[in-house]
Amino acid sequence: MKNLVLALAIGLFSLPSFAQECPPHRGDKNLSAEQKARKMALHMGARLNLSDEQIKELQPALEEFHKKEEQARAERKQRREELKADLAEILDEEQMAKVKKRMEQRKGKMRRHRFHKEMKLEEAEEIAE
């Protein structure tokens, strides 16, 4: 019984050590390009020991980058929708159902890959520090 209590206590106290800090890009979907640029500039400033002046110079470049990324994302989404419409005209319902199923599978695979890639990146950053 004592061993069980001891094991539980050790487990509970060591649990916070496994908690990881979220990368700076998570949860940024609802932020504007200006907000993303500011957040990224501050993050880079802390990581790279940038001066306040360097951060101010960096922010417009990051803002432009995020604006272009948003525009490219919107264009990709539009092209995907156009492709889906074209496929719907060409394929029958059964074929279209297969295409949609395959797209969902690929989407899930990409999410898992992205998660593992982020984990490896975090591990590399920790090693570099």
pLDDT per residue, tens digit, the chain (129 aa), is 666 665 656 665 555 554 544 455 556 678 888 999 999 999 999 999 999 999 999 999 999 999 999 999 999 999 999 998 999 999 999 999 999 999 899 888 888 877 776 666 666 666 655
Which pLDDT belongs to residue 68?
Answer: 95
Which pLDDT belongs to residue 115?
Answer: 73
Which pLDDT belongs to residue 58?
Answer: 93
Which pLDDT belongs to residue 61?
Answer: 95
Which pLDDT belongs to residue 110?
Answer: 81
- What is the pTM assigned to this prediction? 0.56
Q: How far apart are CA 5 and CA 20, in angstroms?
A: 26
Which pLDDT belongs to residue 103?
Answer: 87
Burial class (CB in 10 A: 0-12, 13-18, 19+), 41: buried
Which pLDDT belongs to residue 78?
Answer: 96
Nearest Cα to Cα of residue 73 among 113, 36, 128, 125: 36
Nearest Cα to Cα of residue 59 among 42, 73, 84: 42
